[in-house]
Amino acid sequence: MESISHAPAESSSSAASSTQHNIWIEAQDELKQKLIAQDDFPWRLATTAPTLHQEKEIALKYVGGADISYSKQDPSMACGTLVVLDIHTLQVVYEDHSVVTLSVPYVPGFLAFREAPVLLELLEKMKASATLFYPQLLMVDGNGILHPRGFGLACHLGILANLPTIGIGKNLHHVDGLTLSGVRQLLKAKEDCAEDFVTLTGCSGRTWGVAMRSTDGCVKPIFISIGHRISLDTAVKIVKMTCKYRMPEPIRQADIRSRESLRKHQAMISK
C-alpha cells in the first residue's frame, strides 16, 4: 500500500505563515515611519499654569483606556473595551465594548494585528457619534516602543487612530539587554529616594521606557513607554495622575469592564 505523506501540506502551511509574517513586518515598518515620539497635542496638563503660548490651549480632561479580555474556554473569543475617564475625578464618563471572534492568531511581536482592529472600531464608532467625551489621550493595555520590534500595540493603535497614546505593560519585554532582575535591582536602589521609577536604558544606550512603582507598597512595577505623539516625561506625569492602584485607572476600569462584559456574554449564550 502506498504511504501518504503530509509534508507538502505542512510545508504549504509554513510558507503561508512566513508570507503573513513578512506582510506584517512590512506593515509595521511602514507605520513606524509615522511614529512621533515627542509631545504633539493641542492640550496642556491642568497641573501646569498656561504660558502665553498655551493660553488658547484647552486642558487635558478626557483620558481613554483600552483593553481586551479573552475567554478561558475559547481563546478566539474576546471582548474589546473602551472607557473614557475624567482625569480630575477619575470617574468613567463613557464606556463601550465589543465581543468578537478573532481569526488572527496570536504571534509574539505582532499582537497589534490581532487586537488593534477591535479597538480601532470602538474608537471609530465613538467618533461617529460625535460625543463630547472622545479621548484626548489613550492609554493602552500593551506596550509602546518597549517591544521586540520597537513598535507595540500602543504605537500601532495611536498612529491608526491619530491619537496620543501611552503603552502600559504589566510584564517586561526582554529587549536590548533589559531584564526583570536588573530592573528590580535598580528599583531597590531607589527605595529611599523620592523618585518611584527608573529609566529603562538598553545596552545600545536607547531609552525604551520606564519601570514605575505606581503606588506606595507596590511590589510589581508597571512598564510605561511612548505610544505615539507624546514624550516619555509627559507620559510618566499622566500615569502618575491616574494611579490609585497598580494600574492606571483608565486601564484598570477597561480591564474590569472587559472581563465582566465577556462573562455576561458567555453566560447569555450558554443558557
- pLDDT over 60 at 1, yes or no: no
Tell me the mean pLDDT in the region 132-148: 97
Tell me, yes or no, whether 183 lies in a domain: yes
Residue at 156 is within a domain: yes
What 3 state SS string does the chain have? CCCCCCHHHHHHHHHHHHHHHHHHHHHHHHHHCCCCCCCCCCEECCCCCCCCCCCCCEECCEEEEEEEEECCCCCCEEEEEEEEEECCCCEEEEEEEEEEECCCCCCCCCCHHHHHHHHHHHHHHHHHCCCCCCCCEEEEEECCCCCCCCCCHHHHHHHHHCCCEEEEECCCCCCCCCCHHHHHHHHHHCCCCCCCEEEEECCCCCEEEEEECCCCCCCCCEEEEEEECCCHHHHHHHHHHCECCCCEHHHHHHHHHHHHHHHHHHHHHCC
pLDDT category of residue 6 using cuts at 50, 70 and 90: very low
Mean pLDDT, residues 4-8: 42
What confidence score (pLDDT) does residue 2 get?
37
Residue 1: inside a domain, yes or no? no
In a domain, 2, yes or no: no
pLDDT, position 5:
39
Number of structural domains found in the chain: 1
- The tens digit of pLDDT for each residue in 172-183 reads 989 999 999 999
Q: 125 versus 196: which is more confidently predicted?
A: 125
Task: For residue 114, give its domain range.
Answer: 7-269
- Range from 104-108, 224-228, 250-254 carrying the lowest mean pLDDT: 104-108
Cβ atoms 79, 156 nearer than 8 A: no
The pLDDT value recorded for residue 4 is 36
Give residue 54's pLDDT.
Answer: 54
**How does the average pLDDT of the chain come out, rounded?**
90
Domain assignment of residue 162, yes or no: yes
Instruction: Please indicate, yes or no, if residue 168 is contained in any of the structural domains.
Output: yes
Residues contacting residue 88 through CB under 8 Å, at least 6 positions apart:
46, 61
Q: Residue 203: inside a domain, yes or no?
A: yes
Q: Mean pLDDT, to the nearest integer, of 189-196?
A: 71
**Domain holding 157: CATH number?**
3.30.2170.10
**pLDDT tens digits, 24-37:** 999 999 999 999 99
For 227-271, write each residue's pLDDT tens digit.
999 999 999 999 999 999 999 999 999 999 999 999 999 988 877
Name residue 225's beta-bridge partners. 167
Q: Averaged over 51-73, what is the pLDDT?
A: 85
- CB proximity list for 201: less than 8 A, separation 6 or greater: 207, 208
The pTM of the full predicted model, rounded to 2 decimals, is 0.90
